Structure 1
Amino acid sequence: MTVTFQHLKTNGAFFKYLNKKNQYKQPVRECMLRTMAKLQDADTTEHRPGMLLGKIQSGKTRTFIGVMGLAYDHDFDLVILLTKGTNALVKQTYARLHEEFEGAIEQDALQVFDIMNMPENLRKYELSQKLALIVKKETHNLDRLQAVMEKYPALQNKRVLFIDDEADFASVAYEYKREQNVTQMRVIASKINNLRKALDRPAFLQVTATPYSLYLQPEEMKVHVGKVFEPIRPAFTELVPVHDRYIGGGVYFDKSEKDGHLASYLYHEVEEKELEVMKKMDGRRVKMNRLLSQKNITNIRKAVVNFIVGASIRRFQQRMKGRREQKYSFIIHTERGKNAHAWQAELIQGFETLLTEAARSESEEFHRLVRESYDDLIRSVETLKKTPAPTFNDVYEEVRHSLDEEYIVNSVVNSEKDVTELLDHKGELKLRAPMNIFIGGQILDRGVTIHNLIGFFYGRNPKSFLQDTVLQHSRMYGARPVADLAVTRFYTTQKIYGVMKRIHEFDRELRDAFERGGHHKGVVFIQRDLKDMIMPCNPNKILLSSLTMIKPHKRMLPVGFQTGYKTHIEKTIRKIDQLIEKARNHACATNDGAYLIPVTRAKEILRLVHGTLEMETGHDFHLDEYEGILDYLGSEAQEGAFVWMITKTNRQIRRFKQDGKFENSPDTPGKGTGELTVARKVAQQQPALIMLRQEGKKEHGWRGTPFWWPVLIAQAETAPTVYANKTLHD
């Protein structure tokens, strides 16, 4: 839908005030204006709402408040703001609206109410003003809203704008997970619908960063292989512009793969057994008097010390520049249960006690821990040329002082009461001390603002990962000074990191589709069923741990493995050699050395390769996934199920890169002649399979035996596709 906004006035009292106060940049201002124009022109309902699609902690609230100002200037009298069902978020929203509309409220041009705390006797004078009602998405709040609308009939004649914040939370009509209380969610949707019927021309705007349950609700219809689902879509979608200070998945999962980039130092792997330690107190596993040396809590200890050292580095830098020293935060989010949170708080307190004692005695152990942390963090700090890197002695003394003066405080946040007590006057988590460690679960996800976050220890590890839930847990996303990012670290297992990376890829591709204007075509969802067929897949059934985002020219390859022993795989390697040579002899070749072979032959080769590689913990090479993707990509080509094969031999790749991470780029782009360049050149209608025969020398970290390393490249002419190897249920 192409809509102009030149007819909208930007000098109305409300928007003019907001614009002057916030100094909106042009992309944000135009997003607000386009949204308002479409709300006026489109017939939006709760079933066909408008959509503001942003990223996690990227300025969505700022944007919809700007839309509210425009609405008040364009004949809307009442905004009903639906929020996620937590008291913390209601308080934060109430404080934010009062802050943003302070001038209008002081002049009696606007009244802001929490629906549960409204006066019982509103007067005509108050009802004649513009109104904003904050309503928690919970049955009692909606009943109260219904009662207020019935009590004051004048409200029903006003032009009403519904803004549904965190719209994917309890706003869709149905959901597939039983434990999420389907009946309650349907009640909320139906109550909003009943309220709408009594209003004159209401408009609906949804706001979210995780729109999957909104865009991807398939209708009841049968589809054929490769059919695009046509979900119940919003009437229009506006993308919230991403500001230049935003740090999101592009940093944590894309730029992190560039050697030497600041982002390449952010992720620290945590072993699965350490998450077990975090679940409950176990005196056999954890000795409280040995926390500074015990090996089975190495990464937990490193996370705590890195946070203290990282905050010390930043505060020292700020003091040297004559600036105000900031307070910093660190989140531990691994379990939902309160018993686990209590144990984690005890563990953190134990670390602090022992570290303080060690700092006061200046023990060798303390010196070693601070030195290791400093050496880790200074690598990323030194990538910033304009930010001075403090010496080790400077940081050492800063850390000693911080511990001696009790700069550290840890707080458990796992109930409404806890959050309310921890909020400041703005409804944001209060940073009581220079270094704040928050321990909690679900309540720390959506909406609650946590400032200056430089450490995130994440370990929620369910059997099935839900895309929107996991993404909302990503509190390390948001506006971050790059100097803070340099001392930021993200701790989780390789398995969880892999899932979060897939989620980021899915989220990025969906947003890219909107930016290209291609979202009307939908996204293809496919799965491989038990009959070895590629079938359409209900997107609400996807298991994210078995999800692969396929897009044009995407690379897929096993990473994080060791070869089998020479005596075990030598015979198989010879068989692969023979199969590849046979395939080359019976195939048509290009001038670049690419051979078009049947997908069946490629799958036969991959099956043999799979048996020669031993994957490390947290890394996967699911043969059935690769076979399924090959089947799908091959069947997409009109010429039949074929794949281009490019082979290279005598490769000398090392198992690890210089930074200690597993090598993930065995294919070389070259200058027009590298195998990756060739693969992407020929992979137009058919996919490509690069087969690299490595020497596998011991001095390179292998077991002294040759092996084949496969890299699968999707063809250029393929639609953005979510491939699900498994689903939640039939």
Structure 2
Amino acid sequence: MSKDGFNIERFMSKSGSADQYERQLRRLTSGGKSVASIERAVRGAIESLEKKGRSFVIYGEPQSGKTEMMICLTAKLLDTGRDMIVHLLNDSVDLLGQNLGRFKSSGLAPAARNFSEVLDPGVRLRGQKNVIFCKKNGSDLRKLLEKIKGWQGVVVIDDEADYASPNAKVNSGDKTRINALISDLIGADGTYIGVTATPARLDLNNTFDNDSSLWVDFPPHANYTGQDIFFPLDGPPDFIRTLLPDAGDDPKYARQALFGFLVNAAYLNLYHHPNVERNYSFLVHTSGKKVDHKSDWTVMNDTLNAILKKDQKKFPAYVEYIWRLAKVRFLDADPTRITDFILDNISRHSIIILNSERDWKDNSQAATSPSSLFTIIIGGNIVSRGVTLDNLLSMYFTRDVKHKIQQDTYIQRARMFGSRGDYLPFFELTIPQSLYVDWHRCFVFHRLALSAIKEGLGSLVWLSDQRIAAVASSSIDKSTVDLDRGEMLFSLFDFSDEVEEILDGGLDTFEKLERLSDVLGPALPDYVLKYIRRTSQGRSGAIGIHPAFDISGYADGPDIDKSVITRRRGFFGKSQAQRFPAAAHHLLVLRNGEGKARLLYKFAGSIQFIKNTANDS
């Protein structure tokens, strides 16, 4: 130390920023944000790593705030000594820029960098910690691989992990280009953490040998509006749901949806928050084809111009429709005042088409954070992933497919999910009835499957039926997925005389169901119970509650584990089905003769269960 107090040794010994995770949590809480869900996900990820997990998935709801979670997870990984963390994103320059900007503004140290910033030979990465962003395209990944060649212990955090990363050539023994490059990036001793709202493909495809028993649940925050709101199992919806006839694509339905958006936006600005004017957006999603987007644009543009220019033929009919809709929809409001507001401000509209990367780059800010009072967004596939639409008030969704709906794709289409806040009751979804039913069932199947993970089961059951496929067939590793009809098993419980009395007693079906729910608790998940109640429509004959079945007499073998009551080929056979031939829902308690039991649920309708047995022991 010098005479004036300068001590170079003190500065040489500093190891850099510490407690980054806690600082990130403080940043969020100081801004009024809840961090409970983030803490749970990060804690779960660290526990999976401590179990020597090298490949697992963090799954959550669409639009549920995963970017902040990934910032906090990165901070925690840096705190634990990880020195190379690579974030992979969809092949979109603007989406990469948005996420990279949020990471940089968080105050994370080191600051996150785009891979292009580190390619120069003069940029030295060794001897320091690194957070690097890279798009999922072949050229970028190859350049990054060359730069970090030989690096040990790389952590790959894969945003929208089910997109581009799974190996679509899994059944041919080959690898797709992106899958192979990411495998090389992970290397022999790296770690893969996939982040997605739709993990089915990652499980069925066994992407990067991820272990579903180590998957981590990222629950939505308290203000989240998701599948429980937009696809409720029972009761009226908490938003405006307008169901269209299934036949035809008459432009009048698009116009009527536009009028509904104008009326709702006007009402909110006049009556709900009269002192603060807000801009709102309306998403039109009818197709992935550009020619269809042009047709949608024509309908919107012609309708708005007819109102703006007071077209002699169309103006009277359009304005009368708006006035009458306002009168019927909002009984506490003056329909003339609402109509005046719309006519006075109709010129303050913008129509944005998003059907390409260039469109997104040029118009993403105006679409995600509307700068016009009435913002209409016409979009295809590009609005399905990684896009958060602030102040989205209405959605016109008529897109259908001739073949099976692909479950993971349609879950990502739910752009109305997120923080809709106090204007949720005024949100309007306009959609053909059959498409809404299919979309609804997508989420039912999705949640039933994920409930198995939350119950601590390592083996998943993914469901599909004649119209809804779990994932694209090319992504399924047929060597580890049983495509036969299957069954769902929930958590183990202690078998008791009380359970046996309920099953064998004289109670009617619905009384038995209620008693079982009271006694079994989480071993009969509430969500399954609600689904059974709703789809049975009060018909007791639709539910078969079987006597308890003792599996202790089954022959021992490699396909059965009696201690935890699992069997690769399932337990439910024809003899059980014939006991209740008219039932759609079957509940069977399996006991192992050692005091333990497990509830089996089988849907005997047209649902096909796809069970992945890769992680069965």
Superposition TM-score, scaled by structure 2 size = 0.72
- Once residues 138 and 167 of structure 2 are traced to their aligned partners in structure 1, the CA distance between those partners, rounded to angstroms, is 14
Indicate if the aligned counterparts of 1:407 and 1:434 stay in contact, CA closer than 8 A.
yes
Q: 1:368 deviation in Å? A: 2.4
Q: Do structure 1's residue 134 and structure 2's residue 133 form an aligned pair?
A: yes
Q: Which of 264, 284, 300 matches 2:254?
A: 300
Q: Which of 704, 719, 723 matches 2:601?
A: 719
Deviations 1:140-168 (A, max 9, x none): 01111112214xx7xx25x5321011111
- Once residues 438 and 408 of structure 1 are traced to their aligned partners in structure 2, the CA distance between those partners, rounded to angstroms, is 11
Q: Which amino acid aligns with 1:131?
A: N
Q: 1:136 to 1:376 in 2, by over 3 A?
A: farther
- The residue that corresponds to 2:322 in the other structure is 370
- Once residues 498 and 449 of structure 1 are traced to their aligned partners in structure 2, the CA distance between those partners, rounded to angstroms, is 24
Q: Do structure 1's residue 28 and structure 2's residue 22 form an aligned pair?
A: no
Q: Do structure 1's residue 207 and structure 2's residue 195 form an aligned pair?
A: yes
Q: 1:128 to 1:541 in 2, by over 3 A?
A: closer
Q: 1:445 deviation in Å? A: 0.8
- The residue that corresponds to 1:655 in the other structure is none
Q: What are the ranges of 5 or more consecutive residues in structure 1 without an aligned counterpart?
A: 1-10, 220-230, 275-295, 380-388, 529-536, 553-588, 595-663, 670-674, 692-709
Indicate if the aligned counterparts of 1:333 and 1:459 stay in contact, CA closer than 8 A.
yes
Q: 1:177 to 1:258 in 2, by over 3 A?
A: farther
- Once residues 85 and 687 of structure 1 are traced to their aligned partners in structure 2, the CA distance between those partners, rounded to angstroms, is 49
Q: Which of 511, 523, 537 matches 2:461?
A: 523
Indicate if the aligned counterparts of 1:333 and 1:441 stay in contact, CA closer than 8 A.
yes
- The residue that corresponds to 1:414 in the other structure is 355
Residues matched between the structures, number: 506
Indicate if the aligned counterparts of 1:172 and 1:213 stay in contact, CA closer than 8 A.
yes
Indicate if the aligned counterparts of 2:212 and 2:460 stay in contact, CA closer than 8 A.
no
Within a 5 Å distance, the mapping from 1:328-347 to structure 2 comes to: 328-347=280-299
Indicate if the aligned counterparts of 1:688 and 1:713 stay in contact, CA closer than 8 A.
no
- The residue that corresponds to 2:229 in the other structure is 251
- Once residues 428 and 87 of structure 2 are traced to their aligned partners in structure 1, the CA distance between those partners, rounded to angstroms, is 35
- Once residues 496 and 116 of structure 1 are traced to their aligned partners in structure 2, the CA distance between those partners, rounded to angstroms, is 43
Q: Which of 41, 50, 53 matches 1:41?
A: 50
- The residue that corresponds to 2:146 in the other structure is 147
Q: Do structure 1's residue 440 and structure 2's residue 352 form an aligned pair?
A: no
Q: 1:298 to 1:21 in 2, by over 3 A?
A: same
Within a 5 Å distance, the mapping from 1:566-585 to structure 2 comes to: none
Instruction: Please state whether the residue corresponding to 1:254 is helix, strand or coil.
Output: coil
Q: 1:468 to 1:36 in 2, by over 3 A?
A: closer
- Once residues 36 and 362 of structure 2 are traced to their aligned partners in structure 1, the CA distance between those partners, rounded to angstroms, is 37
Deviations 1:293-340 (A, max 9, x none): xxx4332111110111111122223543x3x32221111111222222
- The residue that corresponds to 1:317 in the other structure is 271
The higher relative CO (CA closer than 8 Å, separation ≥ 6) is in 2
Indicate if the aligned counterparts of 2:307 and 2:315 stay in contact, CA closer than 8 A.
no
Q: 1:683 deviation in Å? A: 6.0
Q: 1:350 deviation in Å? A: 0.2
- The residue that corresponds to 1:623 in the other structure is none
Instruction: Please state whether the residue corresponding to 1:75 is helix, strand or coil.
Output: coil
Indicate if the aligned counterparts of 2:206 and 2:477 stay in contact, CA closer than 8 A.
no
Q: 1:524 deviation in Å? A: 6.9
- The residue that corresponds to 2:551 in the other structure is none
- The residue that corresponds to 1:393 in the other structure is 336
Q: Do structure 1's residue 82 and structure 2's residue 88 form an aligned pair?
A: yes
Indicate if the aligned counterparts of 2:486 and 2:608 stay in contact, CA closer than 8 A.
no
Q: Which amino acid aligns with 2:78?
A: Y
Indicate if the aligned counterparts of 1:306 and 1:377 stay in contact, CA closer than 8 A.
no
Q: Which amino acid aligns with 2:300?
A: I
Within a 5 Å distance, the mapping from 1:552-701 to structure 2 comes to: 676=540
Q: Do structure 1's residue 190 and structure 2's residue 142 form an aligned pair?
A: no
Q: Which amino acid aligns with 2:143?
A: R
Indicate if the aligned counterparts of 2:307 and 2:319 stay in contact, CA closer than 8 A.
no
- Once residues 486 and 354 of structure 2 are traced to their aligned partners in structure 1, the CA distance between those partners, rounded to angstroms, is 35
Deviations 1:258-307 (A, max 9, x none): 24x534x3242254311xxxxxxxxxxxxxxxxxxxxx433211111011
Q: 1:411 deviation in Å? A: 0.9
- The residue that corresponds to 1:613 in the other structure is none
Indicate if the aligned counterparts of 1:688 and 1:714 stay in contact, CA closer than 8 A.
no
Deviations 1:425-453 (A, max 9, x none): xx973423012111121111100221111
Q: 1:87 to 1:203 in 2, by over 3 A?
A: same
Alignment RMSD (CA, Å): 4.1
Deviations 1:677-704 (A, max 9, x none): x86585667679999xxxxxxxxxxxxx
Q: Do structure 1's residue 17 and structure 2's residue 17 form an aligned pair?
A: no
Q: 1:724 deviation in Å? A: 5.7
Within a 5 Å distance, the mapping from 1:475-490 to structure 2 comes to: 475-481=415-421, 483-490=422-429
Within a 5 Å distance, the mapping from 1:46-57 to structure 2 comes to: 49-57=55-63
Q: Which amino acid aligns with 1:202?
A: G
- The residue that corresponds to 2:446 in the other structure is 507
- The residue that corresponds to 2:515 in the other structure is none
Q: 1:711 deviation in Å? A: 8.1
Q: Which amino acid aligns with 2:136?
A: K
Q: 1:33 to 1:687 in 2, by over 3 A?
A: same
Q: Which amino acid aligns with 1:165?
A: D
Q: 1:467 deviation in Å? A: 1.0
Q: Which of 200, 215, 218 matches 1:237?
A: 215
Indicate if the aligned counterparts of 1:413 and 1:440 stay in contact, CA closer than 8 A.
yes
Deviations 1:356-396 (A, max 9, x none): 234999965244211343256438xxxxxxxxx54323322
Instruction: Please state whether the residue corresponding to 1:336 is helix, strand or coil.
Output: coil
Q: Which of 389, 402, 409 matches 1:469?
A: 409
Indicate if the aligned counterparts of 2:56 and 2:193 stay in contact, CA closer than 8 A.
yes
Q: 1:262 to 1:667 in 2, by over 3 A?
A: same
Instruction: Please state whether the residue corresponding to 2:330 is helix, strand or coil.
Output: helix
Indicate if the aligned counterparts of 1:523 and 1:722 stay in contact, CA closer than 8 A.
no
- Once residues 171 and 330 of structure 2 are traced to their aligned partners in structure 1, the CA distance between those partners, rounded to angstroms, is 45
Instruction: Please state whether the residue corresponding to 1:486 is helix, strand or coil.
Output: helix
Q: Which amino acid aligns with 1:399?
A: I
- Once residues 513 and 689 of structure 1 are traced to their aligned partners in structure 2, the CA distance between those partners, rounded to angstroms, is 26
Indicate if the aligned counterparts of 1:689 and 1:712 stay in contact, CA closer than 8 A.
no
Q: 1:407 deviation in Å? A: 1.8
- Once residues 722 and 438 of structure 1 are traced to their aligned partners in structure 2, the CA distance between those partners, rounded to angstroms, is 42
Q: 1:680 to 1:539 in 2, by over 3 A?
A: farther
Q: What are the ranges of 5 or more consecutive residues in structure 2 without an aligned counterpart?
A: 1-16, 467-472, 479-483, 490-503, 510-532, 549-575, 590-599, 611-617
- Once residues 361 and 339 of structure 1 are traced to their aligned partners in structure 2, the CA distance between those partners, rounded to angstroms, is 27
Indicate if the aligned counterparts of 1:270 and 1:493 stay in contact, CA closer than 8 A.
yes
Q: 1:720 to 1:206 in 2, by over 3 A?
A: farther
- Once residues 242 and 593 of structure 1 are traced to their aligned partners in structure 2, the CA distance between those partners, rounded to angstroms, is 37
Q: 1:712 to 1:727 in 2, by over 3 A?
A: closer
Q: Which amino acid aligns with 1:110?
A: P
